[in-house]
Each structure stands twice: as structure tokens, then as C-alpha cells.
Structure 1
């Protein structure tokens, strides 16, 4: 009788001063990766804390890749991927994620063929479903969110975020999802190439998922897989919110004409400016960044 070897998954974690949250993730790996052949690569963006020492202590056989600078999420992931060797799939994780038992093996059951990316249902630390599923950015959706806020997501033509909580309890397709947890097939990564390092943080996962879709690979939610994400959008600072907002426009510009991008920029600016007028500090900072994106305080790609 032949014995089938379990799939090989390379787990990649990007760290940057992540010592406070990293132990919880590493402690969850053994149960979360149950049933799979896996190895861990930690891509460290020049942390000044004990992130690397913690990884080496808790997962002694992990591989550490040092980028030598705060290179950003995509660049660090690409650095890890260059050291990955042979694999069937790659799992990227934020250091503040906690895997549930068997969750990644469950994601693997749906990965393959046209399904190039699988993602779990994500809960926050209070057990609430995180709204992690997204539709492709469009002018109509940007305008809908400017006028209706998150309520626009109730209508597919008017909102980018999928707000129907029932959608998170059944398997289904998404144009893209938040990048805290993504399992990508070897075929998808080979066809699409590395993540786009022009995005220091935010929109890199959007760009990759849309590029994968362009090449015939779907992103699928696997509802039986569940993880906890301690961070999330609620913790995003005004500076990071500015980067998120500007990168949305940058990505749109990469995929659309100049006139369409002008309309998209206007809709995004309307959203942030209207909320800034109501006294929201994040939106005030983002509106200024949309007018002067070159002044964002983040290092450009090398």
C-alpha cells in the first residue's frame, strides 16, 4: 500500500518589533498546522526588540531571513519566499494571528486548480467576525462608501467591504481579502511572481489577489477554517490610515486610465474630507496625504 506524504507548507511571518504578539502565534502553529509537513521562515525587518530571539527559542528549527531594514510587508515576504525551497503552498501570517487547530489543513483541502488562494474566517480578540472579504475597488464603490460609509457594503455595486455576516459562514469567492492570513498555491505563486514591493504596507495583498485573478486563480473563503487576529483596522494609526488610503489610489492608478483614476481619487477624497470635517483625526491626516502623498513618512522601496 502506497503512503501519501502530507502537503508541504512554508509558513512565512513578517516581523517588525513584534515581540509582544509573536509568542502567541508561534504557540499556535503546532496545532494549527496539524496534519501538514511545514517549516517556518521569519522575515525580520530590522526589529529592535527580541522578535528574532523569540522565534529561535520557540521554534528552534525556523529559518530567519534578515532584510536589514524596515523593508515593508511585500519585500519581507518576497525575501522569505526566495529561501522557501520546495513546497506545495505558502502561508503568510501576521504575527498577531492565532491559528485554531487544523485550520491550515482545512484551507489546504480547497486549494488547487483554479483556487489559488484560500483564506479562513477571521475573528477579533473578542470573538466577533472581522469583515475581511472585499470586492474589487471601483469608482462606484468608492463613491458609495463616501456617501454611505460601511453601510454601502450591503449593496455589491456600492461597497467594497462585504458586510453580510452570513457570507463569512459559507464558502465563497472574493475579489480579495485582508492579508493577515493567506494560503497560496505553488501554481499561483509561480504564475503570478513576487508581491509588488512598490507597496510598503497595504494594498500589496489586493494587488496580488487581483493579479492572480487576472491569471485565472480565484480567492476562496473556507468557512470551516477559523483564526483569531488581535490587531485589525481598529488599531490603525492616522499615519497608517493615510498610507492605506493613498495606496488604494496608487493601486487603482496601476490598473485603470487616468480619467478613471481622477474620479476614483475624487471619491476617496470626498470620503476622507467629509469625515475630517466631522473631527476624525485619521481622515484629516488621510485627506492631507491624498493631496501631498510624497510627504508620507514611510521609506520608499529600495
Structure 2
């Protein structure tokens, strides 16, 4: 329900950052879902960064902004290169409109649709909880079904739980598993999905921007860990609902995802996360832990004639980018080969 201006609570400036690479249709749908929010939250501005799409995406987004009357609150910035999600997000934040100083930054994937009231719910929570530096929304899948999870930080124990695929191990290590089930109340968590992540500007002041050494994956995990280490809290806020069409781009997540082979950037991001945040010795231990239990799983699968759900060459690709090596070896193809670029950053 729209409130008359005199009755609206004081609003804090919010910059909404969206990164596009050849997904103009998704971006336009995301902007359309934001239009109603911004009618009642007039201190929000949206910056879309086009990561050098070269397919006309930027032009089509600009046309939609102009033709649908969104120019007062949405703008597009063209990047000279496709530097990945963290790079595009940092560029969006740095490209806030002149004189607009955001108190909060909301990261949104292009394949999201914002449910009514989500922006107000996130900002209301952040203003009521000054120690909350980061907040994530409840995520719905493409069918509107709630995905009731947030996350714990990866660790050696979580690598054992992830690789073992054994109920007994998962029960013993349930408090270490990365995937954490959450309920219907706001919950303090380790990290939340970058598909919908609200960040207090003071966090960026304290720890700096997202790490652009991540092309895709683990960048939000790393950011939340850095914030946690200087005292900022991260929360899951279920009153803010966002639909995320997960897996429509990469095929690595979402219902029915079938992955023929994991791309190099996933392994590189994982290695970078462990080495950067815990040191190479810890990263080596995490790698050895996963490889050991994964090998045990493969033996058990063979002995019990179980189906093989793993992507092709999983173990050899993992080893090629492992911290066991002084430098990661390319398990697939050059990084600048278009076929190695994740589909979030290319046409599907």
C-alpha cells in the first residue's frame, strides 16, 4: 500500500547494484519488479553495469529504462571488459549518481524478481540492528517455493561433510555443513547469497570492496568473512522475499541441474578462498580431506553399484587447481576462452 509522503518513515539512501552480461531480458524483468518498490522508497537508485556484453544487451537495457520511464532512478554503466561479478559490482558502487551517497548497497542478480515490500523489510531490519553489516533475503525458486537456507563458512570439517555423502558423517558434522537450514525468524548466520545481499556502507568503509580476484563464486563468502572478522554481523531476513531463477544461467545450481563438468573458475575461486583466508597449509589440509573422503565415496559407490552423480573429471580437475600445487594448473582451457566464461556472464 502506497503511503502519502508525510507519513513515510525517514528513508536512507540505497544504491542497488546489478551486473549484466548478455542477460538484458532478465535485467529488464528485475527492474520491472523494482519499480513498485521505488514508488514508495524514493531514496533508491539502481546502477546496472554491463560487463562488455557486445551483443546489444546494453542498448536494449537503456531503451527499456528510457521507454518505461525509469530514467529518474535507473542508469546503465558500460564496462570496458568482463571482469566478473565482483568487478562489475564494485564498478556499479563506484558509479553512484553524482551527489548520491548511499547508506546501504543492495546487490541483486539479474535473474531475481523482488517481491513487494522486500526493500522496506531489509532497510527496516538494518536500521533496527546497527551491528548488522550484511543482510540477505528469503529466496524463492522459479516455482515460488521457499528455499530455506543460509550458509556457514567453509572449513576442513565442511569439506569432509561435503565429500563423504554419508548420513552418519553428515549428522556428526551437521554444525559444520556449509548449507544451514533457517526458519521463519531473522537469524544471524555466517554468510548469505550474493543474489540478494544488503550491505551497510560502513562495512565497505571498514574492509574495502569485493575481491576482484574471484571471477564468480565465493566472492560473497569471502566478503562476509572479512566483515565478520572486524565485528560486523550477517543476518538472514525472511520478511524480505526475492525470487531467484537459480541455475537458469550456469546450470550449476537449481532444480534438476545436470553439470557435465565443473568449470575452472569454480575450482580457482575455491582455492583462492581457502589460501587467502586460512593460509596454504590449511588449504592443503582441506583439499586432502575432501579428496580422501571423495575417494572413499567413489569406492563405496562402486562396491554398492550406486549411480554416479558427479561431473566428469571431478577429481582430476580438483587436483589441477588444488593448493597442493604451488600454482593452479589449467584443467580445461584458457581463462579467456569464451567457452570457459560462466553463463551468468554470457548468453545462454
TM band (smaller chain)? 0.7 to 0.9
Among 58, 64, 73, the alignment partner of 1:58 is 64
Root-mean-square deviation over aligned CA pairs? 2.8
**Structure 1 gap segments, 5+ residues each:** none
Partner secondary structure for residue 44 of structure 2 = strand
**Structure 2 gap segments, 5+ residues each:** 1-5, 248-252, 322-328, 338-348
Among 123, 139, 146, the alignment partner of 2:163 is 146
- When normalised by structure 2's length, the TM-score is 0.76
**Per-residue deviation at 1:299?**
4.2
Among 228, 244, 248, the alignment partner of 1:229 is 244
Residue 279 (1) aligns with residue 296 (2): no
Partner of 1:75: 87
CA distance in 2, matches of 1:153, 1:246: 29
Alignment: residue pair count: 296
Residue 94 (1) aligns with residue 109 (2): yes
Partner secondary structure for residue 21 of structure 1 = helix
The verdict on how the C-alpha distance between 1:285 and 1:104 changes in structure 2, with shifts beyond 3 A counting, is farther
- When normalised by structure 1's length, the TM-score is 0.87
**Per-residue deviation at 1:142?**
1.0
**Per-residue deviation at 1:271?**
6.0
Q: Which has the larger radius of gyration?
A: 2
The verdict on how the C-alpha distance between 1:154 and 1:183 changes in structure 2, with shifts beyond 3 A counting, is farther
The verdict on how the C-alpha distance between 1:153 and 1:7 changes in structure 2, with shifts beyond 3 A counting, is farther
Partner of 1:23: 28
The verdict on how the C-alpha distance between 1:28 and 1:154 changes in structure 2, with shifts beyond 3 A counting, is farther
Partner secondary structure for residue 40 of structure 2 = coil
Which of structure 1's runs of 4+ aligned residues deviate more than 4 A? 1-5, 235-242, 270-278
Cα deviation 1:28-66 (Å, max 9, x = unaligned): 011244532111111111113343233223333222222
The verdict on how the C-alpha distance between 1:64 and 1:240 changes in structure 2, with shifts beyond 3 A counting, is farther
Q: Which has the higher helix share?
A: 1
Q: Is the 8 A contact 1:200 1:299 kept in 2?
A: no
